[in-house]
Structure 1
Amino acid sequence: MAIKTRSGRPRKGEEEARRDQLLDHAMQLFAEHGYGNLSLETIAREAHVSLRTIYRHFGGKADLFGAVVHRVSDEFVAGLPLEKIRSRPMEEVLVDFGRIFLGRIGRPECARLRALILAEAQRFPELAAEFYRNGPERTLRRLSQFFAMQQEAGRVIEADSRFLAGQFISALRGEHFQRQQLGLEQPFAETEIDAWVKQVVRHFLYGCLKSEGAR
């Protein structure tokens, strides 16, 4: 039996667990049925909640989808705990973040979400907007803050920190990610991730020209 407060409402921990359960169902259903073919009624039925509950917590379908993406992207953002990395070597921080980033984007649920966006973005532009705002944009903003911190500490050249963040993420994904999206390659194995990320970070931080070429 569920533990409730005196008012009959679930306690905070229980309410959060129910919210997570609803998001789990929604993510699975979006992946199975797509965005346009899935109704909130179906999600409510499969998750054993009322439509009123969905509207109260999330609003419409686009907002619910945004919440699903936001929860997935929490793991990417957590890979850069800004308050804890000021004293750590920058190369070490970027390698740790890169491992998390590549490990997550290669997971089946992330691949399904991205495939869903690509398939339905033209029909539902609000879907693409929710995905970018709650997913890639959050990661880019966090990484941009990291590079800005490094610039303030005098470790990184003066450049647009958002540009630096975008270049680093693009380097991490590389051509392999595009081939993976097309089904031409499998996601990186864990040992491959480590070697790839270290190579990317080294190239990103130190470039590819020898000192004579740089002059």
Structure 2
Amino acid sequence: MTAKKRSSRDSEAELELVDSDVSDVETMTSWQERTIERRLSAARARALARSSRFLATALELVEESGRADFTIQTLIDRSNLSLRAFYQHFAGKEELLLALYENATSQFIEAIRHEVAAADGPMERLEAFCRGFLSRAERSEAVGGRVMTIYNLSLEIERPADFAKIWEPHQKLLTQILTSCQRAGLIRTDMSPTQLTTLLNSTLIALAQIGVFHLGVKGAELTEDQLWAWCKQALMPPDGTTKRKSTPAKRATKRTAPSKSTGKPKKLTG
């Protein structure tokens, strides 16, 4: 019995020592985590600075040549960074171009978001969105817009998941605007906001491509006002146009009424 009591006491003592060691480890872990976090934060900042430098250099090369056929060595020489540093941040040129496209798209969407936020009502926000998209797409030709548009098309076909993820904020913003317009009774309700988003977004992209690549018929250039009017008319309720068309017929009937007092009615055929 005495041996059993001693063994149980020894076990309890060992557990106390283990608990003590665990508490010491927990105390050490807290300051170690802070130390590691500081080091990781510094490393993260350096990584972002270097990757941003690579992206800025890549954009310069695209703007200068109007193409994306530069080599990695050209990028390294221009950025004054090492080849090792490049592969620490990117798996290859394709990943660099994806990051460049994602960065440009993010800035594009954020600029439109600011203009939408400054507009007063639902329809004004929709107009700000459409005009912001069309005007920026046209101006982007001077900053590698042709290359980005070509990459946009290839990305949508070859990597649809990445394409959808990058443009998701854009789609959500447009759906929110169209939902508020629909609730206010300003646009058609025979289609859902999601369906209208798909149609309007496809229209805007097509119109933007016409502007960037100059695909329109010569002498038939379209202004931003005309493009917005086209988009707006497509969103109008179908029954709205019917009511407007029926109004002149009533007026014509009233104007022809006095002719009864002049004598026999005129024949409509010979």
Range into which the TM-score falls when normalised by the shorter chain: 0.5 to 0.7
Of residues 95, 99, 112, the one that matches 2:147 is 112
Instruction: Give me the CA root mean square deviation.
Output: 4.4
Question: Would you say the 8 A contact 1:144–1:162 is kept in 2?
Answer: yes
Are residues 103 and 179 of structure 1, via their aligned partners in 2, closer, same or farther at CA, if it must alter by over 3 Å?
Answer: closer
The share of aligned pairs that are identical, in percent, is 19
Q: Which SS does the other structure have where 1:49 is aligned?
A: coil
Matches within 5 A, 1:65-144: 65-78=97-110, 79-80=112-113, 84=117, 88-106=120-138, 107-108=140-141, 109-116=144-151, 121=154, 125-126=158-159, 130=162, 132-133=163-164, 136-144=167-175
Are residues 18 and 100 of structure 1, via their aligned partners in 2, closer, same or farther at CA, if it must alter by over 3 Å?
Answer: farther
Inter-partner Cα distance in structure 1 for 2:49 and 2:80 = 14
Are residues 88 and 57 of structure 1, via their aligned partners in 2, closer, same or farther at CA, if it must alter by over 3 Å?
Answer: farther
Are residues 205 and 138 of structure 1, via their aligned partners in 2, closer, same or farther at CA, if it must alter by over 3 Å?
Answer: same
Any unmatched runs of 5+ in structure 2? 1-37, 247-270
For residues 61-107 of structure 1, what are the alpha-carbon distances to aligned partners after superposition, in whole Å with 9 as ceiling and x for unaligned? 2222121111211233221359957x941111111112221122112
Question: Would you say the 8 A contact 1:104–1:110 is kept in 2?
Answer: no
Q: TM-score, normalised by structure 2?
A: 0.53
Inter-partner Cα distance in structure 2 for 1:43 and 1:198 = 40
Question: Would you say the 8 A contact 1:25–1:47 is kept in 2?
Answer: yes
Q: 1:26 aligned to 2:58?
A: yes
Return 138-147 or 58-67, whichever deviates more: 138-147
Question: Would you say the 8 A contact 1:147–1:165 is kept in 2?
Answer: yes
Structure with max Cα Rg: 2
Inter-partner Cα distance in structure 1 for 2:84 and 2:186 = 51
Q: Which SS does the other structure have where 1:94 is aligned?
A: helix
Are residues 171 and 115 of structure 1, via their aligned partners in 2, closer, same or farther at CA, if it must alter by over 3 Å?
Answer: closer
Any unmatched runs of 5+ in structure 1? 1-5
Matches within 5 A, 1:1-215: 12=45, 19-30=51-62, 32=65, 34-35=67-68, 37-78=69-110, 79-80=112-113, 84=117, 88-106=120-138, 107-108=140-141, 109-116=144-151, 121=154, 125-126=158-159, 130=162, 132-133=163-164, 136-148=167-179, 157=189, 159-173=191-205, 177-178=209-210, 180-184=212-216, 192-193=223-224, 195-207=225-237, 210-212=241-243
The amino acid across from 2:95 in the alignment is D
Question: Would you say the 8 A contact 2:66–2:147 is kept in 1?
Answer: no
Return 39-48 or 202-211, whichever deviates more: 202-211
Are residues 47 and 92 of structure 1, via their aligned partners in 2, closer, same or farther at CA, if it must alter by over 3 Å?
Answer: same
Question: Would you say the 8 A contact 2:134–2:208 is kept in 1?
Answer: no
Question: Would you say the 8 A contact 2:116–2:128 is kept in 1?
Answer: no
The structure with higher relative contact order (CA 8 Å, sep 6+) is 1
Return 72-81 or 90-99, whichever deviates more: 72-81
